[in-house]
């Protein structure tokens, strides 16, 4: 199953997307690539997990089904973690960076072959 890799050159983070992958495939992919065991809530249909490996930030997004709404939900977690970790706060007067980052993630996902079907 295809794993989509997004690299953000500005914040120097790697985002991996397992879109529409069965739960057990996602857990095995993480164990194989990041050498960590993870546990998922039994009811979860999507998940975002943060790792630190080789001095690099890694965010791994998983959706069990090919659901754009679940994907966008998980991308918002990535957006919040990346920007807030760098001191950018989301306020009524400062929400555009979050919107642009969300847009960046979604565009990269689509350009790298992410599809709903």
Q: Is residue 117 part of a domain?
A: no
Q: Is residue 116 part of a domain?
A: no
pLDDT at 84 over 60: yes
Q: Is residue 86 part of a domain?
A: yes
Render pLDDT for 23-35 as a digit per residue (tens, 0 to 9).
999 999 999 988 9
Beta strands in the chain (DSSP E): 4-8, 13-19, 46-53, 56-63
Q: Give the per-residue pLDDT at 116.
A: 61
Q: Is residue 101 part of a domain?
A: yes
Average pLDDT over residues 24-52: 92
Q: How many domains does the chain have?
A: 1
- Would the pTM count as exceeding 0.75? yes
**The two three-digit tokens of residue 22, written as one number:** 């069965």
**Domain of residue 59, residue span:** 4-111
């Amino acid at each position: 199953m295809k794993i989509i890799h997004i690299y953000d050159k500005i914040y120097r983070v790697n985002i991996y997307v397992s879109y529409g992958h069965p739960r057990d495939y996602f857990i095995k992919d993480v164990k194989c690539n990041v050498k960590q065991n993870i546990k998922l809530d039994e009811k979860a249909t999507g998940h975002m997990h943060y790792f630190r490996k080789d001095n690099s930030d890694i965010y791994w997004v998983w959706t069990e089904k090919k659901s754009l709404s679940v994907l966008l939900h998980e991308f918002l977690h990535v957006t919040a973690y990346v920007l807030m970790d760098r001191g950018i706060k989301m306020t009524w007067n400062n929400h555009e960076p979050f919107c642009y980052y969300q847009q960046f993630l979604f565009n990269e996902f689509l350009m790298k072959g992410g599809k709903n079907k």
